[in-house]
Chains A and B, each alone.
Chain A
Amino acid sequence: MSRGPVLAGLVLAVPVAIAISLRFGAVGLGWSGVWEGLSGNGDPIAVAITRDLRLPRAVLAALVGGALGLAGATFQALLRNPLADPYVLGVSGGAAVGAVLAIGAGWAGVAGWSVPVSAFAGAALAIALVLRIATNVEQRLDVRVLLLSGVVAGTFFNACILLALSFQETEAFRAAVFWMMGGLGGASWRSVWMLALALGGASIVLLGLARSFDLIAHGEETAGFLGVPVQRVRLLAYLTASLLTAGAVVAAGGIGFVGLFVPHTVRLVWGGGHRFLLPATLLVGAAFLPLADTVARVITAPAEVPLGVITAFVGVPFFVLVLRRQTRRAQA
């Protein structure tokens, strides 16, 4: 199948997913109720539910899914390692620690942007730390060492978060604990705009690097010979992917596996170079997460299942599948 129609189809899939997410919830509104609510001339309760609760949440879910998918595809391209994703690499953990520290230190009240900035710093530090550990052990980047480094860094961030939790009796850290409970429940237009901005900028940068990613896929040395400024591309891409991860973590807390299996699905189903893979990953992530969130909101309504549970239920079998395929390919 040619790539153009696929992308066009995926572009359509995102609004469809958002529409489905708008349609279902704890209160049954029906399509007409949702439509009247959105247009603002329905029952005031329907208006409040659709405009104030469901719409920002669905849009935020789409943005978070897109950001995590794109970040995952970028890490996988850079590391030429299909198991890399922001979550496994400990980058989400770094972002979470950054955000918790900012909230715990009380900066959140002083400046609204301090939390995302601090989360971004945490994410960037995390990936730097992981790469550093991995390259310190062996001169060249070994996949297994890299994943181990991710686990090591993640364990450290885990400890930082537990430490923060033990301070929860102070006012600021209680706020941090609340934040960590995250999820998409607190979606607001402010977080939507913030993440939309980050995702927009990051997409432009990463799409511009797509050609270099294709060459890097054949090996960094080869790419270097072909005129790709490998170090600069890597630095820029790591920073951009960390920014996306931080944005997603600030908006919704840690949601695992989206960055892992969305790029894989795209690669397995359609294959293709990064000029297709990156936008397709973004769109599939953006369509997947609102649907996952709909399931999370509906299956135990009026209570909610944490979104991470739903993504893990889809993601874990997928992770196993990928591992098996890899092993088989290696054996063949």
Chain B
Amino acid sequence: MNGPPDRGGRSQETCLEAFSPLLSFAGGMRREVGWPGLHRLSASAGRLFFGFSQGGVLTTSRLLSIVAASTLLLASCNRPQRPAAEQSDAAPVVRAQRVVSLVPSMTDAIVALDATDRLVGRTRYDTAPEVADLPSVGGGLDPSLEALIALEPDLVIGWESAEYRGLRSRLEAGGIGFHAASIEDTTDVFRSLDELGMLLDLSDRAARLSAAVRESLAVVSTAGLRHPKPTVFYALLGAPPRTAGRRTFVGQLIEIAGGIPAFAELYNGWPEVSLEAVLAAQPDVIVVPADDSATNVADAFTKKPGWRDLRAVREGRIVVIPTHLLNRPGPHLGSVARTLHEALVEAWGPAP
């Protein structure tokens, strides 16, 4: 993912911090800065954005308020998933005809449901040929309200995010339905497909799509890898790096593909892990989301202090997966699992 989908500034940071789980795969962010970036941004926010400009006490109080606010928001992010029933209450429109999805994985799902004709807009991160001709409303987290309203949608699908501030209420005041998507793990993917099916009145198709995705995941998970199973460290580069918790779709994809997430004790979200701890853990394989070539990425690792001391780096067991595959928890989950599995087979070896 990339950076905050958008312009810098305070709102962005708050959101980054707060919605790390969401953002971590926020589909939009194709051209990734990597999301550690995002997170760190908030830190630099205090330092750079405000610090430099205001100096002094004001700065710090502002920094502190950001920290405090983010903490609160993070806490709210970590609350248990709401039950599905409650989620669908938030979906006032049934059989939506004019839809704008601000969530790229949901856009993918709409295309996969063969309902592309219901889409009337896209975000600037949706560049698939099926939707590329639609008018863009801007970023997924900071769309232009004017552009959205001008498209006269009857349903807008967005993140479950405080980042929208007035957006949701203004849309609803104008009679436009808003559905908040919250997708962190594979279960959420299937739930969101169900919800989408109801919203578009395409429940049967959605059920078939879900079944197909489940089937392809099952196929991958029976394939397995050479024994003993490798421990896999998913590395979102930063200082310190971040990884995927076990209860995120990336953590689950690693297990489906036959690996064991290094730091299995980390469950939720996208926690920071100090490089020291990674060195102590010595994972067997490192998975890196990147758009650069695998050789370049591996080369860069062998030059980085700390990283170059990892056995996986020295022995060349670095798996590079294009970023857009690992930040869209949508209908392509099965093929992503297959890509990951094939890459792991190459790095570690096939099951006996």
B276, CB-defined interface residue at 8 Å: yes
B interface, by DSSP: helix, strand, loop or mixed? Answer: helix
Asked if residues A154 and B240 are in contact (CB atoms below 8 Å), the reply is no
Asked if residues A302 and B272 are in contact (CB atoms below 8 Å), the reply is yes
Return chain B residues, CB-CB under 8 Å to A154.
52-55
Distance of B55 from chain A, by nearest CB (Å): 4
B135, CB-defined interface residue at 8 Å: no
Asked if residues B309 and A306 are in contact (CB atoms below 8 Å), the reply is no
Partner of B63, one of A93, A181, A183, A312: A312
Distance of B182 from chain A, by nearest CB (Å): 23
Whether A304 contacts B240 in the complex (CB less than 8 A), given A180-B44, A183-B43, comes out as yes
Query: Scoring B residues 102 to 120 as 1 if CB is less than 8 Å from chain A, else 0, what string do you get?
Result: 0000000000000000000
Instruction: Give the CA-CA distance A316 to B58 in the complex, in Å.
Output: 10
Return chain B residues, CB-CB under 8 Å to A168.
2-3, 8, 33
Instruction: Give the CA-CA distance A187 to B304 in the complex, in Å.
Output: 10
Whether A304 contacts B53 in the complex (CB less than 8 A), given A168-B3, A254-B44, comes out as no
Instruction: Give the CA-CA distance A155 to B279 in the complex, in Å.
Output: 41
Return chain A residues, CB-CB under 8 Å to B46.
306, 308-309, 312
Residue of A nearest to B59 (CB): A256
A interface, by DSSP: helix, strand, loop or mixed? Answer: helix
Residue of A nearest to B274 (CB): A26
Asked if residues A165 and B7 are in contact (CB atoms below 8 Å), the reply is yes
Asked if residues A302 and B239 are in contact (CB atoms below 8 Å), the reply is no
Return chain A residues, CB-CB under 8 Å to B54.
151, 154-155
Return chain B residues, CB-CB under 8 Å to A96.
48, 52
Query: Scoring A residues 120 to 159 as 1 if CB is less than 8 Å from chain B, else 0, what string do you get?
Result: 0000000000000000000000000001001100110110
Asked if residues B43 and A48 are in contact (CB atoms below 8 Å), the reply is no
Partner of B306, one of A53, A90, A166: A53
Residues in B lying within 8 Å of A, measured CB to CB: 2-3, 6-9, 31-33, 36-37, 40-41, 43-44, 46-57, 59-61, 63-64, 67, 238-240, 271-277, 279-280, 282, 305-306, 308-309
Known: A25-B274, A254-B47, A255-B47. 14 other contacts (CB 8 A): A27-B277, A27-B280, A48-B306, A154-B54, A162-B8, A166-B6, A178-B37, A185-B240, A301-B277, A303-B272, A306-B46, A309-B63, A312-B59, A316-B61
